[in-house]
Amino acid sequence: MGEEADAKDYDMVAGDSEGDEGRVLEWEVGLPSADDLIPLSQSLISPDLAYAFSIAPEPARTLLDVYRASQSTVSTLRRHPTSSLAAAALNFFSPFPSPSSVATDDPVVFEGEGDDAESGTIATVAIAGVSSCLPTEDPGDEHSSRALKRPRLVWTAQLHKRFIDVVAHLGIKNAVPKTIMQLMNVEGLTRENVASHLQKYRLYRKRKEGIPNEGSFSFDHLPHEPPAQMPMPYGMPSPPVPMPVFSIAFHPGHNGSMEMMPIVNHHQAAGAYHGFVSHHPNGGVIGDRQGDWSAANKC
């Protein structure tokens, strides 16, 4: 089993450059390449085989399982930094107990806050890989106060998109903070963060449903629920076809213009959030428009 889709070029987004140089490649040092790994989301053996050997069927791995696996992997790495490189990489990933990095990519942005960044200044932290503007300083270097306040999370367009995708992927009824948070797989993102955002999002949707007039303004994207045609090279196949997904491509870069997404590296540390298709099992959420959700996103 060595034939796997190229796990190399799955980060294709409208953006031109992706700043692959500054990426933390150290993460991959010593790790098996994607080609050597069996996707966590995939059963190790076929159901038939399992049955033949009286092996209890695997509980069907879900993205959540994959996520958890990746979490434990990361945790393990944290505990046993086998090399200074790994340590450095880890340090990069989580310089402090507060959120400042993402497991996969998405630029997580925090508002400069705390000491004296009243209003206006936004210390953006692009986690993607190129440490463009890192947090002003370590929150821990101030005083040995254990109770460090997390910086305010800024829901960037990308974060929000991820959020939307996940919410769309889960049904309305499954879209609860914890699950959303887990599927988003954004390091440092808390359940509270998501809960708060979800609350707002729900209100937003409620407002909208009252006015079936559609957003109108705003450069919305997502034409209208791509029926069944996946623009992606790897279109998410229909149910019957298993498809060994390890790291599917992301979404269509329906981002024609307007914004130059900062850094968009799509790399799944150990797999977690796969590009989702708006498969709303519960006919709940649909492609969202940015209506009012403009997100500050610049460095």
Partner DNA sequence: CTACTAATAT
Partner DNA sequence: TATATTAGTA
Residues near DNA (CB under 7 A) are: 111, 149-150, 152-155, 176-179, 191-193, 195-200, 202, 292, 294-295
Distance, in Å, from the CA atom of 27 to the CA atom of 86, rounded to the nearest integer, reads 7
Cβ 206 to DNA shortest distance, Å: 9
Cβ 204 to DNA shortest distance, Å: 8
Contacts of 16 (CB under 8 A, 6+ apart): none
**Exposed (0-12), middle (13-18) or buried (19+): which is 298, by Cβ within 10 Å?**
exposed
34 touches 234 (CB < 8 A):
no
Contacts of 68 (CB under 8 A, 6+ apart): 182
Which is nearer to DNA, 54 or 119 (by Cβ)? 119
The token duo for 214 is 């559609």
Distance, in Å, from the CA atom of 293 to the CA atom of 88, rounded to the nearest integer, reads 35
Cβ 228 to DNA shortest distance, Å: 30
CA distances from 21 to 24, 58, 129, 186 (A): 8, 39, 8, 22
DSSP secondary structure code for residue 52 in this structure: H
Distance, in Å, from the CA atom of 78 to the CA atom of 233, rounded to the nearest integer, reads 35
Buried b (16+ CB within 10 A) or exposed e, 104-122: bbbbbbbbbbbeeeeeeeb
Which is nearer to DNA, 193 or 247 (by Cβ)? 193
Which is nearer to DNA, 192 or 225 (by Cβ)? 192
Which is nearer to DNA, 75 or 83 (by Cβ)? 75
Cβ 240 to DNA shortest distance, Å: 31
Closest of 157, 174, 197 to residue 289, by C-alpha:
157
Which is nearer to DNA, 104 or 193 (by Cβ)? 193
1 touches 38 (CB < 8 A):
yes
Distance, in Å, from the CA atom of 163 to the CA atom of 167, rounded to the nearest integer, reads 6
Which is nearer to DNA, 50 or 195 (by Cβ)? 195
Cβ 112 to DNA shortest distance, Å: 13
Which is nearer to DNA, 178 or 279 (by Cβ)? 178
Cβ 104 to DNA shortest distance, Å: 19
Cβ 50 to DNA shortest distance, Å: 30
